[in-house]
Each structure stands twice: as C-alpha cells, then as structure tokens.
Amino acid sequence: MSPVKVQKIVCIGAGYVGGPTCAVIAQKCPEIIVTIVDLNEARINAWNDEQYRLPIYEPGLVEVVRSCRGKNLFFSTDVDKGIQEADLIFVSVNTPTKKSGVGAGFAADLNYVELATRRIAAVATSNKIVVEKSTVPCRTAESMRTILEANAKPNCRFDILSNPEFLAEGTAIKDLHNPDRVLIGSLQTPEGLAACQSLSDVYAHWVSRDQILTVGLWSSELSKLAANAMLAQRISSINALSAICEATGANIDEVANAVGYDSRIGPKFLKASVGFGGSCFQKDILNLVYLSESLHLPEVAAYWRQVVEMNEHQKSRFAKRVVDSLFNTITNKRITVLGFAFKADTGDTRESAAISLIRDFLKEKANVNLYDPQVEEHQIWQDLAEASPNLSLETIKKQVNICSSSLEACKDAEAIVIATEWKEFKEIDWETVYQGMNKPAFVFDGRLLVDEDKLTKIGFKVVTIGRGSL
C-alpha cells in the first residue's frame, strides 16, 4: 500500500507539546498547512496575539511562530473544520494523573484522549492518519482504534500511529530542530506501515532518515514512559547520594563529575537538586507503577514507586534543612524563594519543587517573599491554594508576597532559597542583597547555582545541597 502525501495537518491541543511541535513542523514544511485547534478560546487568542504574547514561554518559540503564522500555520477553535480538512491528525491533549476513581494517584486520566477520538470519528468523512502525541499508557492506541472503527462512517478508514515527544521544556525548540531521534510506532500491517511512512516523510524534511526510528505501536508507547522513568531514576539516584554527601562531608559536584567520566554512565542528569518537577517525570513513573500493578508485577511497581518517593523526600529534606539551619524555627521569619517554575527557561510550574517548599514553610508559619521572572501571578496563587487545601487563599496571601524583582524579594529576609536555576539569579548583586537582609543572612542553594566561596566572603551563611554544613 502506498503512503499518503500529507498536505494538511491538524493538531488537537494547543499546549506545551502540540503548540511548539506543530509550529516547527509548519516552519520546516512550508508546503504543508498546519492548524492547531483547541476549545479553549483564551488559549487560541493568545497564540494569535498580535504582540506574540504566547500562552507558553519557550526560548525561540516566538521566532518560529512569527515566521509562519498566517502563512501555513493557523490557530483556531473550529475543531470540526480542522478534523474534516486534515490528512493527518495529532492528538496532543492533556493526560493528567487521575485524582479519583480506579487508579487514582497513579493511572493517567484518558478522558480528553477519548473525547478527542470520539470527535474525530463523529466528524471525519474521509480517511485519516491519527497520531497519538500525548504521553499515554501502553496500548492506549488499541482503545483509540476500537472507538474509531466502531464509529467510523462508511468507507472511512483510520490508521493509528504513536509518535511520542521527547522534548525538554526550556530547550523544546532546540530539541525539535535537532532531535536525538523521532520515534514512530505503527501496526505492522501494510496499512500501518504506509501510514508510518507518511509521517516519516514529514519529519524527513529536516531530520535525517537514520534518526527516524520506526517500531511497533506498543513499543513506541512504552518507550516514552521508559525514557522518562530512567531519566528520573538518575535524578533520584544522584539526589539520594547528595544526602550521603551532606552527612559525610563529601561534595556532590565532585562525586557526580567523577562518576560521569565513566563512559558507561556519562555526565547527563547527574546534577543534584531540590527535586525534579514538570509535567512528565512523576506522571509517567506513576503510570508505569500502575501498569506494573495491573500486570501483577508488584516488585516492579515498588521499584519505580521508590523513584518518586525519593524525589518527594528530597524536597521535604531540603525544607527541613532550612528550618534546622535557622535555629529550628522559621515562625514569623521572612524567607525569600527565588524561582517558582519547575526549571529555568519555562513558565511551567507543574510538580515544581518551589510549591512543596512554600507549602512546608507556610506550615511552619513563615512569611514568604517570592519572585519568578516568567510565572504569572494567577498561576502561583492557584498552585499554592491547591498545595495547601486546608488554608484559605486569603490566609495564603497574608503569608506570601509576590515580588517584581529578586532584589525586592530579598529585602528584609532572614534567608534566601534558590528553587529554580534561572540565569539571572547567578547575576544578582549579592553585596546589595546582603546589606538589605537580617543577620545572620542565609542562602540555601537548591540548584548548585551560586559561587559559595564568593557569597561566604560577603558574609552569607551558605547551605548548598549535596555539601556538608559549614
């Protein structure tokens, strides 16, 4: 069976994956019309904003959108029109962890995936290639195929592909322009292989053919979960070692550097921190835990669960170290938290370590000054309220002050906690900060960001994750 030449692509979902991915496809494939659709009108309006105030922050994204929006890249709330006209449909909707029902706290909530799939079946009047772009449990494509085939109109065929993303927020555009690999999973039938070829031809506009990996459908789905789980495992491993370093006087930077020289291990993802966050790692590991338990593999489930438990322990351990260092109490003390995004160069706050730290500080009745250069104020209040359901938003706002600069946030504080590795935090005028703080002035570096010797000479008491107390 011959592959279809893709001329029109629609992406259902205008979030962190669908938006940047399809914007780059439009940029690299000027002859293909790409439309990104979403029922969230405010989000689509932001993508269409004349001043390019896009709904997500990602370095390089504005330039990509500016280069092709209105030419072959469009953003719309007309989902049905997009489905009807497309040859290929990316399903890139949110798959959060379930909060209730069977599998609550572990399994992925596939409600949006099912709704999108049923909409495709209801609207489509011609053959479509449907591409599972969201991160989903293994064999989700089988459920999608069952729904599509049960509701397809006469002479309307759907071919299902899995094409997981491997983007790192903060470097997503760079990752899309120069990917390590593109993974496409398909059924190993003539129709499935032809659909796989059609999507491969799209990526081949800028990705070398030998970097486009084609595998079975279920292997593709599981590979995404496996990749994130193993990356998170490395972070939890180095963070576990950071606790030992603090107890023994070893330096986690030196340990990680020495270990990273081993060619079998390598240096990546060996940087200790206050903990990993983001939309993928914890969600995907919990998904893997649920899958393992569903397959009656309790030991495997327990193994992967420990990666998440270690991450949560790292956050609470760091918060406790702040309290212990400040003479075992932070009640009514002013603590500055620098950074609220889960990592630098993104406005994403999902599972951010800062949320857990501030929650713990509020429990200790501390006052918190907070500054982040990208996260919107409404997002901060929403996250803090969700993290502390026993506190009213009014109470939280009495204890937390959102500041417009790092210098403002640090004024009159007892301690500074670095929770996100924003570059600007390395360039702070620490002499001025020290003069405006209560003494003794503490800096707790949760991201191995600052020059400890320099700050110590200024007069700070510096506590660095993965190093013993001075």
* 280 in catalytic set: yes
Binding-site sequence positions for substrate = 165-169, 224-228, 264, 271-277, 342-343, 447
Whole-number CA gyration radius for the chain = 24
* CA 34/CA 72 separation, integer angstroms: 6
Catalytic entry in 22, 245, 280, 410: 280
The token pair that represents 47 in the structure block = 């993508």
* CA 239/CA 252 separation, integer angstroms: 9
The token pair that represents 362 in the structure block = 């509020």
Burial class (CB in 10 A: 0-12, 13-18, 19+), 107: buried
Binding-site sequence positions for NAD(+) = 13-18, 38, 43, 93-97, 134-135, 169, 280-283, 350
Binding-site sequence positions = 13-18, 38, 43, 93-97, 134-135, 165-169, 224-228, 264, 271-277, 280-283, 342-343, 350, 447
Q: Which amino acid is at 218?
A: W
Residue 168 CB neighbour total at 10 angstroms: 14
In order of 47, 261, 380, 408, the CA distances from 40 in angstroms are: 11, 47, 20, 35
In order of 28, 73, 153, the CA distances from 67 in angstroms are: 10, 9, 38
In order of 64, 125, 163, 189, the CA distances from 146 in angstroms are: 36, 17, 19, 16
Catalogue the active-site residues: 280
